[in-house]
Structure 1
Amino acid sequence: MYRVDMNLGSLLSFSWRMLRRDGRGGELRLLAAALVIAVAALTAVGFFTDRVRQALERQSHQLLGADLLLVADHPWPAAFADEVRARGLQVVETQTFPSMVSRGRGADMRSQLAEVKAVGTGYPLRGSLRVAPALNAPDAPADGIPARGTLWVDERLASTLAARVGDQIAVGQSSLRVAAVLTLEPDRGINFFSVAPRLLMNLDDLPATGLLQVGSRVGYRLLLAGDAALVKRYQREIEARLVRGQRLEDPQNGRPEIRIALDRAQKFLGLSALLTVVLAAVAVALAARRYVQRHLDPCAVMRCLGATQGLLLRLYLGQFAVLGLLAAGVGCAIGYLAHFALHAWLAQLLATPLPPPGPLPVVQGLAVGMLLLFGFAVPPLLQLKKVPTLRVLRGELGNPQAALLGGYLTGFLVLTGLMFWVAGEIALGAYVVAGFSAALLLFSLIARLVIRLAAAARGGAGTSGGIGWRYGLASLERRASASVVQIVALALGFMALILLTVTRGDLLDAWQSAV
């Protein structure tokens, strides 16, 4: 007789023995392998994108030149800078505007519209400037900013003006000496409305140029940097005090072009891994179906020996919980090792070393594994507790076809949720779910039609096909539902492989161009 009052330890011990015994059968091995592959695919992508995300967050501060920018179309009051310093943060002011600059006199004079940027001492607060002693010469990190009376010109402006280090360039009413060629400015960004070459000068030299007049198109910026908590606190406080013409820029919105490139790559890799999850879901569903059918008779015998419905449910749920944790854990370990191969494949696109990944991909992998298992396997298991004891005498009783259909529906809903989760946005998730549903429906109709045609051709084949063909076609028709599920699973697998093969090259080229 089976004990009804098993404690948790005894229940887990008995479930573990059942798992070891059933592990010799093919169903659980296939189910575990499907879970391992699905979790490994998702966590490999998760570990890689988590490392890239962390590196991007670090680099984004350098690309911004600060931790936070205060941007305005009119001068910032001096009280703002004093308040920032009082809070323990660094602050540097810059002013940017377009202006005509020239070199030489008379017939030899050359002029060019330039984007003039006047910077204060300490600029930039994050990252560094790079300068060269001459045009097309090797560059090096700059030591500070242009000294008073001097300026730096970028390569385009130096070429247009034919300016060399030591030449004088007229900026408004002042004449400043070229001290270096500017090769890298971290916070310049991408601005399609500012295509003029750059000229960098000292902020203290700006009043003497006389260029700032009423109506001048000047962008006033305060660059802030310091402890992350202090910056966040000040950002929350200052947002409510901004007026017309003032705005905030941070690493999340200051350089969107890099983040867009990462988002595209992450979505492609995530959806690629999701195709693996779809195939794994089909394998889990088929394995669970076979497992339930094979355990109907043992459950009926256990019911005859005194096992209650609740005890059967707890035993099998415990068994599958242990199986899911083990398979998901192995999948996370394989995914962690596999993400190094993914990093090596995309290393030529990455210009910065990546920090170690965080624990979030492991949590996501365990969650996906358990959701996948319980979404497709548990609903059919619930029918095992309802197996009648009379099945011991009459084997046709307790066949859980309705439960299997309900299990497939539950699993499809779980898979739909995973698609939206991995896609990361409603629109993209809806496209993926709609495409997957349409393909599933189309493949199911085609498979059912092919089975019908094969059954119709069985009688007209005569003896030319042999008795083996006739019995084989008859078996397909007799188990039409199982045959349709297997055909659809193979079709989805081939669709996933073809889709990845066709789109991989184009999407990777687009990502490389964006980076």
Structure 2
Amino acid sequence: MRQSLSSFCRGLRQELRSSELISLLLAVTLSVAALSSVSFLADRMQRAFQYDARQLLAADLLIAADQPIPETFIEQAHSKQLQIAQTVVFPSMATVGQQSKLASLKAVSPQYPLRGALQVQGLADGSPLTPLISSPPSGSVWVDPAMLGSMQAALGDQMQLGQKSFVIAGVLERELDRGAGFMNFAPRVMMSLADLSATELLGPGSRATYRLLLAGRDDQIAAYEQWAKAAIESQNLRGIRIEALDNAQPVLRKTLERAERFLSLIAVLTAMVASVAIALSARRYAIKQADSCAVLKCFGATSGWILQKQVLNIVFLGIVSAGLGSALGYLVQLILTSLLGNLILTNLPGISMWPVLWSSLLALFLLLGFAGPPLMALVKVSPIRLIRKEFNSINASSFWVGICGLGTCAALVAIAAQDWKLALWAGFSFGGAILVFLSCAYLVLNALASIQTQRFSIHFAITAQSRRMGFAVMQITALGIALMALLMILLLRQDLLSAWQGNIPPDAPNRFMINVQDEQKSAITQSLVAAGISKPDFYPMVRGRLIAINKREVSSADFKEDNAKRLVDREFNLSYTEQLPPGNRITAGQWISGDSPQISMETGIAKTLNLKMGDQLTFEVAGEQITAPITSLRKLDWSSMRVNFFVIMPPAQLNALPQSWITSYYQTPDQAVLDFQISQSFPNLTVVDVSTSLRQIQDVLNKLSAALGLLFSFTIAAAVLVLISAMAATQDDRYRNAAVLKAIGASRQTLASIACFELLVIGITAGALAGLFSGIAAWALGHFVLEIEFHAFFQALALGITFGVLACLLAGYRFGQKIQAATAMECLREGY
């Protein structure tokens, strides 16, 4: 064994000088790095959910509702001797000095949190970062660090919340149960629940989330959960939900799971592109080794010995590439964590061995699937190859190479997607793109072959590509797929966002004022007009819950889509008017006429809930039931930034019910003090600065785009590696052509022109296909999902061609220089 190992090491040192083996190692390492980087990040997030689920809830069990928790739930918790705490979360305006800002206000009871701890820095006594299991003292608040910076505030300053003033006593550094709701984009202000009533902030129409936190022994929690489910079902308590350890932070968990799957599929795309380089490098390495294997068989080497040697090579390459790829993947994961910032959980646990094991198995998986068939074919090499030159390739069946490669791709997609529907979608989408690119590339090359030209360099390049059409088609397809992925990110990050912002009129409303009471409308109008703002239009807002469709009771269990479930579980904002609101367009039926029961429904929400014209809807509003048919469907212009409603009824149906009012208006940048003045005069109001929200959303998109761009850089690197491998796979033929050309006196300029034309054909074709199809994909996404018009097709095409040409020229520059510098005899020696 020692002698065999020593012989293997000596042979390996010699083989590592082979550029083909180095390319094979780089391709596998790149694939492992892309997949392991996502695997490291996903593993840390999943273990954070598994090990810190109680901290993510701040309890063992949580009851959440959009109304105050029924007293029976609290009494039952006391009877079962459970620890309890309560929180109320809602948006509100916070004021410090002359600065006002929308905040996510959280009022907590003294026992909060029941599990885990808050981290608060800079308390009134000057203590450093401290884990705390308590609420803020009465009369004080803890705030996010972002709140201090945006409001130019400091510890000890007074913060006005409604009718009560508080002291800023600490900076809230960590709050694991915060979740990922929209209002959590606003900075947090935490106060004592005992102080909430004094602020007078909660009133009719207020959007607040009430939570009852419970902790105790597992058997106690299980018994209470069983009772709570029965109570919700028997009493038909709508809007109340239970969150336990198995569904801790459902919104955050689902968001991160989707991001994980998307990132995993991107990584798989990189692995698939790199797998082409693996197959090409392995094939060329096998061809180079065929003569050596034939010589070894002449000296008595058996097929078993050669098979053992190749298996050892694959195992060694797998181990080395797994180690290098895992190390690179870990570094990339650190960068991803930094880029995503507060979009993921803070204080993620350390890495585990699972991603390293996964990377090792992946490396062997890729090698066996893509490099195994050509390397194993060396076993069948015959000694006659040394004297029969027509045996210029190894006996490897293309059929089995294709079967193994496709099987490996399918397995990679299924493992990464973790969902058979998503896996099928990804597989068919990727396969469809490959088929289209293959067909287009084949048609383009055939069309070029029919061109008659008197220029020798172009004619020779076309003839050479026609003889190697399979490799040229493969080069175009691999580069096109990678470029399409990159262009999609660039278009989504820049063009679609710019187009969306460009559709918003410059004087579109940038402030929304909610919770306006009927008696306040006149005074608010006077304040706004006095500040130089146009007279606002107020729209009534009535909160109601959908309880029946066509006289059949509905619940979230009746729908499959998560968005539909959430719509049914929450309360709708209903409104009434006789006039069709600006920016609304009737797409079916007739607009409201008269006082008879009727509903005008927005088309998007009708599609989500599977509603159609004529359906009878029943809403419950303040204990009363209102039933009306859908008589019209409306398309809304969301880019107008005006007040819009999903459901509108005649005034006679809703004007006598509890309601608040909402309005929107445009406020110039030099009127920033107006927010402060309004919040001082009307503490119950909430003024939402939409421009700030848009900037926050854009910041989120930029972070996600940066993270995706980092992974797509792997894809581009894989595509360049494919080009290098493909060129190396045809370099023997190129050397033979160069030898002939040099022998008949071709100049270096002629050789450069031939190589340049070949590279331009590949780059332009791949770039044009990538630009065209990425533009189509971006248009479809904008038109059907984001509801914006996308017109940057020329930009997508130009970027695709530019990137394609640059990638090809960079990949082929070194090889072209080497051929031009070589003599005819050196070219013959290299080619044979």
Q: Is the shorter-chain TM-score for this pair beyond 0.5, marking a shared fold? A: yes
Return closer, same or farther for 1:336/1:120 CA change in 2, 3 Å cut-off: closer
C-alpha contact (below 8 Å) 1:443/1:488 kept by paired residues? yes
Moved more, 117-126 or 14-23: 117-126
Return closer, same or farther for 1:315/1:123 CA change in 2, 3 Å cut-off: closer
Deviation at 1:376, TM superposition (A): 0.2
Return closer, same or farther for 1:78/1:408 CA change in 2, 3 Å cut-off: same
Q: Who is 2:455 aligned against?
A: 465
Amino acid at match of 1:493: A
Alignment partner of 2:39 out of 42, 46, 62: 46
Moved more, 247-256 or 373-382: 247-256
Moved more, 441-450 or 316-325: 441-450
C-alpha contact (below 8 Å) 1:261/1:511 kept by paired residues? no
Q: Who is 2:480 aligned against?
A: 491
Amino acid at match of 1:92: I
The question of 1:293 aligning with 2:298 is answered no
C-alpha contact (below 8 Å) 1:309/1:385 kept by paired residues? yes
Deviation at 1:445, TM superposition (A): 1.5
Query: Which digits, 9 at most, give the CA deviation of each residue in 1:47-80, with x for residues without a partner?
Result: 2333344455666534422133478978469898
Q: Equivalent residues in 2 for 1:286-435 (5 A)?
A: 286-347=280-341, 349=343, 352-397=346-391, 399-400=393-394, 403-435=397-429
User: Whole-Å Cα distance in 1 between the matches of residues 222 and 294 of structure 2?
Assistant: 64
Query: Which digits, 9 at most, give the CA deviation of each residue in 1:6-35, with x for residues without a partner?
Result: x5x554443333332222121111111111
User: Whole-Å Cα distance in 2 between the matches of residues 376 and 494 of structure 1?
Assistant: 23
SS in 2 for 1:377: helix
User: TM-score, normalized by length of structure 2?
Assistant: 0.44
Query: Which digits, 9 at most, give the CA deviation of each residue in 1:159-189, with x for residues without a partner?
Result: 8973568xxxxxxxxxxxxx99999998687
SS in 2 for 1:66: coil
Query: Which digits, 9 at most, give the CA deviation of each residue in 1:357-386, with x for residues without a partner?
Result: 222221222222221111100012222212
Amino acid at match of 1:244: A
C-alpha contact (below 8 Å) 2:56/2:249 kept by paired residues? yes
Return closer, same or farther for 1:379/1:328 CA change in 2, 3 Å cut-off: same
User: Whole-Å Cα distance in 2 between the matches of residues 51 and 427 of structure 1?
Assistant: 25
User: TM-score, normalized by length of structure 1?
Assistant: 0.68
Return closer, same or farther for 1:78/1:292 CA change in 2, 3 Å cut-off: same
User: Whole-Å Cα distance in 1 between the matches of residues 256 and 442 of structure 2?
Assistant: 42
Return closer, same or farther for 1:10/1:451 CA change in 2, 3 Å cut-off: farther
Amino acid at match of 2:114: P
The question of 1:66 aligning with 2:59 is answered yes
User: Whole-Å Cα distance in 2 between the matches of residues 188 and 352 of structure 1?
Assistant: 11
Q: Who is 2:230 aligned against?
A: 244
Return closer, same or farther for 1:143/1:382 CA change in 2, 3 Å cut-off: closer
Q: Who is 2:438 aligned against?
A: 444
The question of 1:268 aligning with 2:259 is answered no
C-alpha contact (below 8 Å) 1:92/1:120 kept by paired residues? no
Alignment partner of 1:92 out of 84, 90, 95: 84
Deviation at 1:414, TM superposition (A): 0.6
Amino acid at match of 1:495: M
Q: Who is 1:22 aligned against?
A: 15
User: Whole-Å Cα distance in 1 between the matches of residues 15 and 142 of structure 2?
Assistant: 71
Amino acid at match of 2:330: Y
How many residue pairs are counted as aligned between the two chains?
437
SS in 2 for 1:223: strand
Q: Who is 1:32 aligned against?
A: 25
The question of 1:479 aligning with 2:503 is answered no
Query: Which digits, 9 at most, give the CA deviation of each residue in 1:251-310, with x for residues without a partner?
Result: 442421211232233233323322321221111011011112222222222222222222
C-alpha contact (below 8 Å) 2:114/2:215 kept by paired residues? no
User: Whole-Å Cα distance in 2 between the matches of residues 235 and 403 of structure 1?
Assistant: 62
C-alpha contact (below 8 Å) 1:265/1:511 kept by paired residues? no
C-alpha contact (below 8 Å) 1:67/1:126 kept by paired residues? no
Amino acid at match of 2:385: R
SS in 2 for 1:315: helix
SS in 1 for 2:301: coil
Query: Which digits, 9 at most, give the CA deviation of each residue in 1:315-374, with x for residues without a partner?
Result: 111112101211111111122223222233333645733332222221222222221111
Query: Which digits, 9 at most, give the CA deviation of each residue in 1:446-470, with x for residues without a partner?
Result: 222233223322xx22xx211x443
Return closer, same or farther for 1:307/1:153 CA change in 2, 3 Å cut-off: closer
The question of 1:124 aligning with 2:118 is answered no
Amino acid at match of 1:465: R
Return closer, same or farther for 1:152/1:272 CA change in 2, 3 Å cut-off: same
Moved more, 119-128 or 250-259: 119-128
Return closer, same or farther for 1:289/1:95 CA change in 2, 3 Å cut-off: closer
Deviation at 1:409, TM superposition (A): 2.8
C-alpha contact (below 8 Å) 1:39/1:331 kept by paired residues? yes
Q: CA RMSD in A?
A: 4.7
Return closer, same or farther for 1:441/1:220 CA change in 2, 3 Å cut-off: closer
Percent identity, aligned pairs only, is: 30
Query: Which digits, 9 at most, give the CA deviation of each residue in 1:187-227, with x for residues without a partner?
Result: 687899xxxxx99768xxxxxxxxxxxxxxxx9956125xx
Q: Who is 1:456 aligned against?
A: 450
User: Whole-Å Cα distance in 1 between the matches of residues 374 and 436 of structure 2?
Assistant: 25
SS in 1 for 2:84: strand
C-alpha contact (below 8 Å) 1:375/1:410 kept by paired residues? yes
Q: Who is 1:224 aligned against?
A: 215
User: Whole-Å Cα distance in 2 between the matches of residues 376 and 397 of structure 1?
Assistant: 23
User: Whole-Å Cα distance in 2 between the matches of residues 146 and 335 of structure 1?
Assistant: 42
SS in 2 for 1:372: helix
Amino acid at match of 2:324: V
SS in 2 for 1:124: coil
Return closer, same or farther for 1:394/1:220 CA change in 2, 3 Å cut-off: closer
User: Whole-Å Cα distance in 2 between the matches of residues 291 and 51 of structure 1?
Assistant: 38
C-alpha contact (below 8 Å) 2:291/2:386 kept by paired residues? yes
Return closer, same or farther for 1:497/1:94 CA change in 2, 3 Å cut-off: closer
Moved more, 52-61 or 268-277: 52-61
SS in 2 for 1:346: helix
C-alpha contact (below 8 Å) 2:136/2:191 kept by paired residues? no
Return closer, same or farther for 1:222/1:451 CA change in 2, 3 Å cut-off: closer
Return closer, same or farther for 1:92/1:308 CA change in 2, 3 Å cut-off: same
Q: Equivalent residues in 2 for 1:162-201 (5 A)?
A: 162-163=163-164
Q: Who is 1:168 aligned against?
A: none
Query: Which digits, 9 at most, give the CA deviation of each residue in 1:420-458, with x for residues without a partner?
Result: 21223222222221121111111211222233223322x
User: Whole-Å Cα distance in 2 between the matches of residues 74 and 143 of structure 1?
Assistant: 25
Q: Who is 2:251 aligned against?
A: 257
Q: Who is 2:727 aligned against?
A: none
Amino acid at match of 1:288: A
User: Whole-Å Cα distance in 2 between the matches of residues 491 and 416 of structure 1?
Assistant: 20
Amino acid at match of 2:335: A
C-alpha contact (below 8 Å) 2:59/2:214 kept by paired residues? yes
